[in-house]
Structure 1
Amino acid sequence: MATDLKNLKWTKASVLSGLWAGIEIVAGSFLHNLKIPFSGTFLTLISITLVIGFYQIWKHPGIIWRAGIITALMKSISPSAVILGPMIAITMEGLVLEFSVRLLGRNLLGYAIAGALTMLGALVHKITHLFVLYGLDIFQIYEEMFRFAVFKMGLPNANTFHVVLSLFLIYAVLGMLAAFAGYLIGSRALNEQNSGLPDFTEALSHGKWETGDTRGNYSPALLVMHIILIPLLLFGLANLSPGYSLLIVLPYFALIAWRYRIAVRRLKKWMFWMQLLVILLLALFFGKTSASGMAGKLEALSQGFSMVLRALVVVLGFSGLSTELRAPVLQKLFYKTGFKQLYMAINNAFSILPAIVDGMATPGQFIRNPIRSIALSLQYVDSWHQHLMDRLP
């Protein structure tokens, strides 16, 4: 009986994962391709609304964290050069929502606090991402920029702490509102479940996770190399002069460029280099230095150069690491090491994903009215689950 219940949770979690991944595809690709600011924040809000809404239909403990893990692993086949960051973010969203609801109760207050904590977690993830990418120097630059701005505005008594606190409060309130919206549309969808699926031409896929990218020439040795080299290189960049830093990272960059075409494609994007140029200029004008005059400017420029090198190591290194993690042997390892339910749940989610995307609104329509789009998707939750149950042997 316990095994049947666990299997039921994994199957239902795969339905939520299919919807979650579908939203990432429909809304995420639209937002990122247009370079819309705060697109990650918007996606987190949508995820909170979807998950809380879904939970009103099936209030089974354990579904949310399972769905977070499944959706994150589905992200592993994304063609994006950087997948570890989004995978970690999605997993954390699932875990925070799951355990917040468990601790605070399945009620409106519990959902609101869960939404707030999830948004705060997303903000912490952004801050951590900046630290990993650029180191502590980026926060010193932001502090100097803040002081410069308040001085120009005639607000010398403005407190950095109050600004940061206000930002956290804004994120928390947005998370509460997203959870409240999810509660409303989920409660309504519970009473409006459709008995059939939308009319679409099914392009159900059973092989994306099972077969992986067999064209890739994956190397376990390179996977281990990335895991070891990335932290070592970051440590070296933090303690060596720019000249020596460049010497130790150039061979690694050459290996990445030779081995991973997807990383090279990212280097061809002008927006990527524009971001690094902005960081370099910010360091030049707002970096803290121990000297003044030209010597101080050169020291600040040196700090900016080290930050750029650090960002390149993180971006290119994680591109290589992400590629090696896609190896089919690692994916199939789930099945052979006692993770059969997770393996099957991922395949279930992939099998309904194309049809879910086909049944969703267009990206533009979704962005204009995400609440309505999520509500329509939730009306077919029971039908998707029955569809998966019918496929079981």
Structure 2
Amino acid sequence: MAAGDSAGAHFSTRDLVYIAVLGAAWGLVETSLGTYLHALRVPFRGALLTALGLLVALCGRALIPRRGTVVMIGAVTAALRLLAVGAVLLSPLAAILIESLLAELVLWAWSRPGRAAFALAGATGTLWTVVHPFVTQGLVAGSGLIAVYGWLIDSTARALPLLAGLVWLLVVCAIAIPLALGIVAGLLAHDLGTRLQERLAH
């Protein structure tokens, strides 16, 4: 089990350095690996990138058991992505911040978040990749929720051609696969972060 949260404690200089490094690592995943995944049209690349990013951020949360750690790492990532791209792309920046906020809010429910809490945090953050296009494209951009639903089914069918035509199963997979990726990311983050914290403590 991870160490108890220090809700009221201040972040030390070392904590802030770790947060900056981990935020940069998530940003590197977004800008470098993301480019290759998009170029290769890897299925569920958005969920995979988010899961990897949350793996980094949640690892930081296990390493620095203070409330707000995940959000701060996400903020660093968003800022670095903004500098790297050189343009204000609100959709990906908002996605990073919301994903980190959702994961953080889940962990707030536990005074001593363990593996189950981290798994749920990873799943919740990664699930935003399914909800995000409905908000940004369906509502904000005005494309309509039905249109976005159609895009979701089409993209899932291309990723899983054997299920083409089985709409209900495609919907299940479109939700279940990001959830599974998030759960794995959360579990790995808890274990890696906890072990790293123990080693640094000695």
Task: State the TM-score, normalized to the length of structure 1.
Answer: 0.40
* CA deviation vs aligned residue, 1:256-286 (integer Å, no higher than 9, x gap): xxxxxxxxxxxxxxxxxxxxxxxxxxxxxxx
1:28, distance to aligned residue in structure 2 (A)? 2.2
Indicate how the Cα distance of structure 1 residues 75 and 184 shifts in structure 2: closer, same or farther if over 3 A, else same.
same
1:47, distance to aligned residue in structure 2 (A)? 1.1
Do structure 1's residue 96 and structure 2's residue 102 form an aligned pair?
Answer: yes
Match of 1:121 among 102, 124, 128: 128
1:71, distance to aligned residue in structure 2 (A)? 1.7
Alignment-mate amino acid for residue 62 of structure 1: G
Q: How does 1:141-152 map to 2 (within 5 A)?
A: 141=150
Do structure 1's residue 172 and structure 2's residue 179 form an aligned pair?
Answer: yes
Do structure 1's residue 23 and structure 2's residue 29 form an aligned pair?
Answer: yes
Alignment-mate amino acid for residue 72 of structure 1: A
1:180, distance to aligned residue in structure 2 (A)? 1.0
Q: Secondary structure at the match of 1:106?
A: coil
Contact 1:12 1:63 in 2 (8 A): no
Indicate how the Cα distance of structure 1 residues 27 and 139 shifts in structure 2: closer, same or farther if over 3 A, else same.
closer
Do structure 1's residue 138 and structure 2's residue 147 form an aligned pair?
Answer: yes
Contact 1:14 1:67 in 2 (8 A): yes
Aligned residue in 2 for 1:5: 10
Aligned residue in 1 for 2:75: 69
Alignment-mate amino acid for residue 119 of structure 1: T
Q: How does 1:186-205 map to 2 (within 5 A)?
A: 186-193=193-200
Indicate how the Cα distance of structure 1 residues 10 and 188 shifts in structure 2: closer, same or farther if over 3 A, else same.
closer
Aligned residue in 2 for 1:385: none
Indicate how the Cα distance of structure 1 residues 58 and 6 shifts in structure 2: closer, same or farther if over 3 A, else same.
closer
* CA deviation vs aligned residue, 1:28-86 (integer Å, no higher than 9, x gap): 23323444343222110101211222222221211111221222122222336662111
Alignment-mate amino acid for residue 45 of structure 1: A
* CA deviation vs aligned residue, 1:276-331 (integer Å, no higher than 9, x gap): xxxxxxxxxxxxxxxxxxxxxxxxxxxxxxxxxxxxxxxxxxxxxxxxxxxxxxxx
Aligned residue in 1 for 2:159: none
Indicate how the Cα distance of structure 1 residues 33 and 138 shifts in structure 2: closer, same or farther if over 3 A, else same.
same
Do structure 1's residue 36 and structure 2's residue 42 form an aligned pair?
Answer: yes
Q: Secondary structure at the match of 1:78?
A: helix
Q: Secondary structure at the match of 1:187?
A: helix
Indicate how the Cα distance of structure 1 residues 54 and 139 shifts in structure 2: closer, same or farther if over 3 A, else same.
closer
* Aligned residues: CA RMSD: 3.6
Q: Secondary structure at the match of 1:171?
A: helix
Indicate how the Cα distance of structure 1 residues 134 and 78 shifts in structure 2: closer, same or farther if over 3 A, else same.
farther
Task: State the TM-score, normalized to the length of structure 2.
Answer: 0.72
Indicate how the Cα distance of structure 1 residues 134 and 35 shifts in structure 2: closer, same or farther if over 3 A, else same.
farther
Ranges in structure 2 where 5+ consecutive residues have no aligned partner: 1-7, 155-161
Highest Rg: 1 or 2?
1
